[in-house]
Structure 1
Amino acid sequence: MNTLATSFHIPDSLHAEVPPEHRGLRRDDVRLMVLQKGEKNASHNRFDEIDKFLEAGDVLVVNNSRTIPPVLKGSQGKQNVEIRLSRKISTHQWEALLLGTFIQTNVPIQLSEGLEATISGLGSEPPLVTLSFSEGGSTLLDYIYRYGEPVRYEYIHHPWPLETYQTVYGAIPGSVEMPSAGRAFTWGLLSKLKAKGVRIASIQLHAGLSYYEKNRWPNPNNHPEAFAVPEETAKLINTAKQNGKRVIAVGTTVVRALESTVHEQGEVKASSGITKLYIDQHHRVTSVDGLLTGFHEPEASHLHMLRAFMPEKKLIKAYKEALNKGYLWHEFGDMNLILSERKGK
């Protein structure tokens, strides 16, 4: 049993429903809790002070996947149907979550401009299905951008625009949920890190749905996502490790992508494809030395990964401390940096 799922409770007041820039702050004005191996207690900082914990030659790896608006509204007969896209399968097929009272498999879902979507098979796991659209390629992507809306879970009460769900460096469209660990970065802070000698590298992992409504969560052992690790990023990481520098993943998506490419000698290699890798305390992470992430719900599989970086007892203690200090949860909330000891100590 995952004891994390019952170890803490997030009060409603700590669900961040408003982006910091709509609270009179900059993106990088959020808070940062730092956990370092070898140190008993967490330290509490502002996110724009993250440069204090990084050195020249360290590599920060970001996910430059850009968020698309994956929620489409349609109808089947007299019934309204909400489509939540999760993963692109081909030019005209997507895995998706359908929300409606009774949805028929053999009747097309009607959308605006004559577009149709038909259930053509099962998804990678229930309750996902495979949808085939009557248009594909750039025509379908254009439709999604014109008519789609961002995924908005129950703790978000305002329909924030799509730009609110982007990182500043997001470039490759494909994620249906923002790779939110990088949201707090601003161009100014990234420039500050580069001036210090911190190298910035990128991968892509197109994030799928992380929640299926009605208290249903993805099966972490069967949650396929498309990824790509470029040759330049692999070389930067391997060189940093050879030079005794640290590699810090910005988000669990980055860890998942990089760990999917590590070969027997522990080096990262350029690769692309679909990963189903599940990382928990039984997985020995070798591609990175630290993780920057948000604060996760107790049921979320993202939290399982943190146990690969930090003993569960210390992690639970830190999360309870974060709750007591009023840290904010979710994509508009505060941040957590987990680091190994500085190399050479």
Structure 2
Amino acid sequence: MEARRLHHFQLPEALNATTPPERRGLRRDHVRMMVLDRKTGATAHAKFFQLDQFLKKDDLLLLNASRTVPAVLQAVRLRSGEEVEIRLAHRLDDSVWQALVVAEGVAVGERFIFSPSLTADVVKEQGSGPFVTLQFSREGAALYDEIYQLGEPVRYEYIHTDWSLDYYQTVYASVPGSVEMPSAGRAFSWEMLFRLQRKGVKIAYMQLHTGLSYLLDDSWRHDPRENHEQYMIPQETVEAVEQCKAAGGRVIAVGTTVVRSLETAVDAEGVLRAQSGWTNLYIHEGFPLRVVDGLITGFHEPEASHLDLLSAFVDPSLLYTAYQEAIDREYLWHEFGDMNLIL
């Protein structure tokens, strides 16, 4: 089933958040928040640190604990001596990654040199997609040590300053693997999370390592169904969801990555199962959400597939009206911008 696309809207360039809130004189949890009623389309407006006013005891917040890695690396191409940019895309195992090599004619058997102690060989060409597969000379924690020393975070075209990796992390991220920040959780502070827990809001974690979506070249277009991302849902999270539902609470996903993972892990009987694997689930208008009741997310650009996912929560016409209101009220877009709570 194809989704009915959200009406195209014009996003003024001034609403692209180019600067982290902390560099604009705000705490990260003091960005603005639009609250959207998924049934009626009614909106309310607050600051993100006031989230506790919209949640209730026994609600469950589900957070993506994936930590952002600095995925943009510089390497020397052994066969020519030229320096090339390599963008990590998906981790396949302890020493193998899919990657976007910003160079022509990359072939199996080529070697790239990142440092005196790190090289990578091309073991699979890109084929019909944009990525090659690289086998690194180091693995596990040793490879991550090199990546963190050598890499820079992925920065989108509207970001004009080389903000450090710290600005691309959530406070609770613990498991390295995302090449682009799971940004819906960025506005949380530990103080906020503790305050929510004191109110009786439960918190649980899962992981989805985000893949590379910013491909530099519009000739490569990612259909969501072609974007496979690695996820892991632990048993304690499944039990937290079951307890939340039994107590009459709402399961609120922090980010589209959490929605995608949870809805992937539902079996044929509609039961959430602890599991790990790869998901390419495409969620859209009319998709039967079986786990998630609400969503915390940022504001998404026109034509983004994330808007299709939001249309599973809110009728596209109501979502379009809310987005127009957000534009009129000058909410800020993207990972350094404002937040949208859908309940």
TM-score, normalised to structure 1's length? 0.93
1:17-69 Cα distance to aligned partner (Å, 9 max, x none): 10001110000111111111343421111111111110000000000111111
Pair 1:180-2:183 in alignment: yes
Root-mean-square deviation (CA, aligned residues, Å) is 1.8
Moved more, 128-137 or 192-201: 128-137
The DSSP-based 3-state class of the residue aligned with 2:306 is helix
For 2:39 and 2:310, locate their aligned partners in 1 and report how far apart those are by CA, in whole Å. Answer: 16
Of 328, 336, 342 in structure 2, the residue corresponding to residue 338 of structure 1 is 342
Q: Label 1:122 to 1:53 Cα distance change in 2 as closer, same or farther (>3 A).
A: farther
Which residue does the alignment assign to 1:265? 269
Q: CA deviation at 1:154?
A: 1.0
* Counterpart position of 2:318: 314
Which position in structure 1 is the counterpart of 2:46? 45
Question: Amino acid of the residue matched to residue 254 of structure 1?
Answer: V
In 2, the alpha carbon distance for the partners of 1:247 and 1:137 equals 33
Contact 1:296 1:303 in 2 (8 A): yes
Partner of 1:164: 167
**Range moving further from structure 2, 30-39 or 197-206:** 30-39
For structure 2, which runs of at least 5 residues remain unmatched after alignment? none
What is the DSSP-based 3-state SS (H/G/I as helix, E as strand, rest coil) of the residue aligned with 2:141?
A: helix
Deviates more, 1:294-303 or 1:12-21: 294-303
Matches within 5 A, 1:283-322: 283-322=287-326
Amino acid at match of 1:66: R
1:115 is displaced (CA, Å) by: 2.5
Question: Which is further off, 213-222 or 254-263?
Answer: 213-222
Residues 124 and 106 of structure 1: is their aligned pair in 2 closer, same or farther, counting only changes over 3 Å?
closer
What amino acid does structure 2 have at the position aligned with 1:201?
A
Q: Tell me which amino acid in the other structure corresponds to 1:316.
A: Y
- Tell which deviates more after alignment, 27-36 or 104-113: 104-113
1:287-336 CA distance string (max 9 Å, x none): 11001101111232222100110101111111111111111111100111
Query: In structure 2, do the counterparts of structure 1 residues 122 and 301 end up closer, same or farther at CA, with 3 Å as the change threshold?
Result: farther
| Paired positions, count | 339
Alignment of 1:200-239 (within 5 A): 200-215=203-218, 216-239=220-243
**Is 1:18 the equivalent of 2:22?**
no
Point out the more displaced range, 132-141 or 328-337.
132-141
Structure 1: distance between partners of 2:326 and 2:115: 45
Between 1:172-181 and 1:206-215, the stretch displaced more is 206-215
- Local SS of the residue matching 1:50: helix
The question of whether the paired residues in 2 share the 8 Å contact of 1:180 and 1:251 is answered with yes
Q: Is the 8 A contact 1:15 1:330 kept in 2?
A: yes
Which segment is superposed worse, 296-305 or 202-211?
296-305
Structure 1 position 58 matched with structure 2 position 59:
yes
Structure 2 partner of 1:7: 8
Q: Are 1:129 and 2:132 matched, yes or no?
A: yes
Q: Note if contact 1:125-1:222 (Cα within 8 Å) is conserved in structure 2.
A: no
Alpha-carbon distance in structure 2 between the residues aligned to 1:254 and 1:323: 26
Query: 1:280 maps to what in 2?
Result: 284
Distance 1:114 1:191, change over 3 A: closer
**Alpha-carbon deviations, 1:44-95, whole Å to 9, x = none?**
1111111111000000000011111111101222432111101111222101
Does structure 1 retain, via aligned residues, the 8 Å contact 2:285–2:311?
A: yes
Distance 1:142 1:124 in 2: 30
Contact 2:125–2:132 (CA under 8 A) maintained in structure 1 = yes
* Deviation of 1:131 (Å): 1.3
Shift of residue 193, structure 1, vs aligned partner: 0.6
- SS of equivalent to 2:226: coil
- Contact 1:211-1:217 at 8 Å conserved across structures: no
User: Following TM superposition, by how much is the alpha carbon of 1:6 offset from its aligned partner in structure 2, in angstroms?
Assistant: 5.9
How many Å separate the matches in 2 of 1:88 and 1:244?
A: 38
Contact kept, 8 Å, 2:251 with 2:291, in 1: the verdict is yes
Q: Equivalent residue of 1:221, what SS?
A: helix
C-alpha distance in 1 between matches for 2:142 and 2:303: 37
Corresponding residue of 1:95: 98
Q: 2-side partners of 1:286 and 1:122: how far apart?
A: 38
Cα distance, 1:102 vs structure 2: 4.8
Please state how far the C-alpha of 1:265 moved relative to its aligned partner.
Answer: 3.5
Aligned to 2:155: 152
Deviation at 1:101, TM superposition (A): 4.7
Q: Distance between the aligned counterparts of 1:124 and 1:265, measured in 2?
A: 37
Residue identity matched to 1:266: G
